[in-house]
Structure 1
Amino acid sequence: MNDGTGLRRELSSRQVGMIALGGAIGTGLFLGSGLAISMAGPSVVVVYALAAVVALALSYALAEMTVIHPDAGGFGAIAHRYLGPMAGFVQRWLYVVAQIVNIGSEVVAAGLYIQFWWPQVPLWVPVAGFSALILTVNTLSVRFFGEFEYWFAMIKVVTIVAFIGIGAYFLLFGFAGHPSPGLSAVTEHGGFLPNGLGAAWLALSVVSFSYLGTEAVAVTAAESRDPERDVPRAARSMVLRLGLFYVLGTAVLVLIVPWSEAAGVEGITQSPFVRLFEYAGVPAAAGVMNFVVLTAALSAMNTNLYLSSRMVHSLAVVRQAPRGLLKISKRGVPSRSLGVCAVGLVIAVLASVFSPKDAFPLLIGAALFSGLAAWIIIFATHFAFRRARERAGAAPSPIRLPGAPVTSGLAVLVLVAVLVTTGFTDQFFVAWLAGPPFLVLLVLAYLLVRRRAAARADEPAA
């Protein structure tokens, strides 16, 4: 049991690692990559590599802090400790909103994958069905959730490794009836930067969304059996996994399939990974791959629902959310916090009913501002964490972010630049329409919460 929260430490080391992976690899790679490729062309590989460096810095910064403070609420609780209660309040609610909307984007993507097989099915039907399934999984014990997520994530891990291996073989030797394309997909069709350097930079906003979920390793610490061992191990494994899955995966993709085809001529209703197998003339494999990316979307959705519900629960622990959200079910699940986060599923159903073609990019845009702002606060927290511990003469953490604070500062500069860039993209301008006003609203909400807390403290005891 995690003292003071009611949460149970039932997640094993392998489950913690896979939950972190499940949050980081979902529609951003399998579906969102098509949107990024349509903007950057083959140069999307460099874009993914740049975003991976920032994500890895974030992963190490989080691990360094979480090993010392494996508290419920993860980085939100640590921000509360080192930057103050306002920062903790704003960051956690920013993250909760980003994840709630992100949950909606994942389930919409799952519905799009179903339409690969049955295009006549209205999008809202599979969206509603998958929403009910994943919500049910999250109401069960955290041990069951961890095992479910482990195998869901394992499917996409094995598939991506196989995809990279088969793709590399095809590039080197070709298949019967399908000679190797060599470097033609990069040298032809407009070259490496077909839409210019500016378009490649714009694609960074899409790619950055792909890595949201890397921070999951910090939130799982409160329910890990051995956070001092599991969190550093999960953070280190992210180095290999992010580099392998995102950078090599997209590299193989754009080398085999001309970027204009990988991007899709009919928007993003099909994953470019599925199109790869169709291009290779293996339709049966395309169906199998579509099943894999469907499980990937459900896996990411499953993890995001878990993360957001724990963050809401941690807000209730420090009286920055209604105390009623502290309720823990007999299975050790914060059931009322889970219900709050299920709002994202309702949003997804409504979006798929009223705007099925635009649902995915609109949901991504709405989540992007909050997610990137939460990342920036994580790096600010890490800077304050390092400074406070150095002044106190405390022993260094077992795992440290190399090059900090320079590393943290450079990562923040990239994130701020990406955040500003979203205002110049057709897909994500909604981030700036909703993001800043929401940030102001959160600050005002915190002031109101603090005033009420002070009023209660001044009330005479009954």
Structure 2
Amino acid sequence: MPHRPTPARSLKHGLTSRQVSMISIAGIIGAGLFIGSSNAIATAGPAILLSYGLTGLLVLLVMRMLGEMAIVQPDSGSFSTYASRAIGPWAGFTIGWLYWWFWVLIIPVEAIAGADILHAWFPLVPSWAFAFVIMLGLAATNLVSVNNFGTFEYWFALVKVIAIIAFLLVCGSAVVGVWPLAPVSGVGQLLGNGGFMPNGFGAVLGGVLVTIFSFFGAEIVTIAADETANPREKIRRATNLVVYRIALFYLASIFFIVSLVAWNDPQLTQAGSFQRALEVLNVPGAKWLVDVVVLVAVTSCMNSGLYTASRMLYSLGARGDAHPLARRISANGVPSVAVLASTLAGFVGCFINYVLPGKVFSFLLSTTGAIALLVYLVIAVSQLRMRRMMEREGHDLPLKMWLFPWLTWLVIAVIALVLGYMLVTPAYRYETLMTAAVAGSMLLIGLLRRRREAGVVAVSR
């Protein structure tokens, strides 16, 4: 009997519709909203609403462009795959590795933040032990099956959504004057303490730079959709609903915070925006409640970060841009080597932080400063070129970018201007240069690999 080769394994369609829906929500609700928004408010005052609005509009347009491409070609490599096709293999290689680099550095950041909360609750257990246990637990669940990732992320997202809705109800009742625990009502803080825009419009632009990283992660749904049945419909639905999620979770929450809490309140940046708002309203156990939600948020971010990094590494391996082992699929349909490699990189980051606190790891983290903008820029350029390619190939486009190509060009111009502003602004120049150095290094590696492969092909002929 002739030997039949074992069919190549592929990623398993193990995510349900409700899990993908929650993943699309969880991707834009991170610790940056619950904690990082306080620094953004302190930067621009109540006018931070404009910053969040501008950033949300940019993310909405980028997600529309990404959705247009992803519906036609669902792929675990998402924008990296599209960049390879539309711009060139060097672009897909560079942005794919940059994205992986971003997440394997964010994973230990979130692990350390979660560990610090647990250490405050259980001081006898060292913080590093909590960090390693959290990472081991999430790595184990990701290795078993993609459904485990989806289940964890579903419940993490549900907790965050319930917490935000409860926060909006409490703050809304205070604004209309029916909150019984504090004599606070109206939106007096919105225009008090120097007015709506106390630090000028320049601070609003500076707020955009602070807020844009809070939205990073919305693109995860286009990666996860490849592991579900009928991915095109899931991507289309998530893309169409992103505007409502931005309006509800970000704009509504921040509106209530700046309405009830003075933007220059010294305790705002110390406690965090959500906690400080609840403290002003005399909500019992405000710190504990917010700590629980933040712990869920950072764990969710770690969970999705590990998933996203592993799928991007798998995609790079499948395209020959990473070691062939990275594309190995387990019997459960999980890219096990990619998960283990991404987890190991996260462990290394944690180890460096605890052994050399505030030194090497801070240096590494600075290299991620402008990666979100580079990813958005690559998505826009890819869509600009892929639209014409897909139309020439006769593809049906169920979801189209609005006012193409003018809005696409506008997004490219805005991102280029923001990157230029970061480069000339002392507060952001170092991070921008560090990101450029890492991107340049990866680009050089990619070009050298392509040249070597071309040389090998030429010699073989």
TM-score by length of 1: 0.90
Report the equivalent of 1:421: 421
Counterpart contact for 2:144–2:332, Cα < 8 Å: yes
Tell me which moved more, 179-188 or 79-88: 179-188
> Following the alignment from structure 2 to structure 1, what is the Cα–Cα distance between the partners of residues 365 and 442?
20
Q: Distance in 1 between matches of 2:171 and 2:347?
A: 35
Deviations 1:408-436 (A, max 9, x none): 22222222233233346676444223111
Letter of the 1:419 counterpart: L
Say yes or no: does 1:280 pair with 2:281: yes
Residue number in structure 2 paired with 1:440: 440
Q: How do residues 83-232 of structure 1 correspond to structure 2 at under 5 angstroms?
A: 83-114=87-118, 117=121, 123-232=127-236
- What is the rounded CA distance, in whole Å, between the counterparts of 2:132 and 2:426 in structure 1? 28
- Name the structure 2 match of 1:77: 81
Q: Structure 1 residues 225, 177: closer, same or farther in 2, change over 3 A?
A: closer
2:181–2:281 contact (8 Å) kept in structure 1: no
1:344 is matched with: 346
- One-letter amino acid of the structure 2 residue matched with residue 135 of structure 1: A
Could you tell me how far apart the structure 1 residues matched to 2:189 and 2:396 are? Answer: 48
**Structure 1 residue 340: Cα displacement:** 2.7
The Cα shift of 1:278 comes to 2.0
Q: Is contact 2:77–2:315 with CA below 8 Å preserved after alignment? A: yes
How far the C-alpha of 1:357 sits from its partner, in A, is 11
Q: Secondary structure at the match of 2:398?
A: coil
**Does 2:249 correspond to 1:245?**
yes
Amino acid paired to 1:310:
R
* CA shift in 2, pair 1:456/1:395, >3 Å: closer
1:322 aligns with 2:326: no
Three-state SS of the structure 2 residue aligned to 1:54 is helix
Name the CA distance, whole Å, in 1 between partners of 2:327 and 2:49.
44
Letter in structure 2 aligned against 1:440: G
Is the Cα contact below 8 Å between 2:142 and 2:149 reproduced in 1? Answer: yes
Q: Residues of 1 paired with 2:460 and 2:423: CA distance?
A: 50
Asked if the contact 1:364–1:428 (Cα under 8 Å) also holds between the matched residues in 2, the reply is no
Q: Deviations over 1:142-193 (max 9, x none)?
A: 0111111111111101111121122111100242251234232122222222
User: SS at the partner of 1:260?
Assistant: coil
Question: Relative to structure 2, which stretch is displaced further, 275-284 or 68-77?
Answer: 275-284
Residues 177 and 163 of structure 1: CA distance in aligned 2, closer, same or farther (over 3 Å): closer
Post-superposition CA distance 1:308-362 (Å, at most 9, x none): 1101111111111111212222322212212332213432453355446998x87
Tell me the alpha carbon deviations over residues 227-271 of structure 1, each in whole angstroms, 9 at most, x when there is no partner. Answer: 1211101111222111110111111111111122386354xxx43
The 2-side partners of 1:423 and 1:448 are apart by 27
Q: What letter is aligned with 2:211?
A: V
- 1:335 is the counterpart of 2:339: no
Q: Which residue in the other structure is 2:50 paired with?
A: 46
- Equivalent residues in 2 for 1:287-436 (5 A)? 287-342=288-343, 343-351=345-353, 354-355=356-357, 365-392=366-393, 394-423=394-423, 428-436=428-436
Alpha carbons of structure 1 residues 365 and 188: separation in structure 2 relative to 1, 3 Å: farther
Aligned residues: 454
Classify 1:40/1:117 alpha carbon distance in 2 versus 1 (closer, same or farther; 3 Å): farther
Shift in Å, 1:369: 1.5
1:10 alignment partner, SS class = coil
Which structure 1 residue ranges, 5 or more long, are not aligned? Answer: none
| CA distance in 1 between partners of 2:186 and 2:138 (Å) | 42
| AA aligned opposite 1:33 | S
1:288–1:42 Cα change, 3 Å? same
| Aligned mate of 1:68, from 58, 65, 72 | 72
- How many angstroms apart in 2 are the aligned matches of 1:197 and 1:227? 41
Q: Secondary structure at the match of 1:404?
A: coil
CA shift at 1:451, angstroms? 2.8
| Alpha-carbon offset, residue 285 of structure 1 | 4.2
Please say which of residues 85-94 and 281-290 is displaced more in the overlay.
281-290
Provide the rounded CA distance (Å) in 2 between the counterparts of 1:253 and 1:230: 33
1:453 match: 453
Is 1:32 aligned to 2:42, yes or no?
no
**1:110–1:294 CA contact under 8 A, matched in 2:** yes
- CA change 1:89–1:177 in 2 (3 A) is closer
1:383 offset after TM fit, Å? 0.6
Cα RMSD (Å): 2.6
Deviates more, 1:113-122 or 1:255-264: 113-122
Give the counterpart letter for 2:317 in structure 1: A
Describe the shift of the 1:141–1:98 C-alpha distance in structure 2 as closer, same or farther (beyond 3 A): same
Aligned partners of 2:245 and 2:36: how far apart in 1? Answer: 18
Identity of aligned residues (%): 32
Extract unaligned runs of 5+ from structure 2. Answer: 1-6
For residue 439 of structure 1, give the secondary structure of its aligned residue in structure 2. helix
TM-score of the pair, normalised by structure 2:
0.90
What is the DSSP-based 3-state SS (H/G/I as helix, E as strand, rest coil) of the residue aligned with 1:247? helix
- CA change 1:226–1:271 in 2 (3 A) is same
- In 2, the alpha carbon distance for the partners of 1:274 and 1:115 equals 19
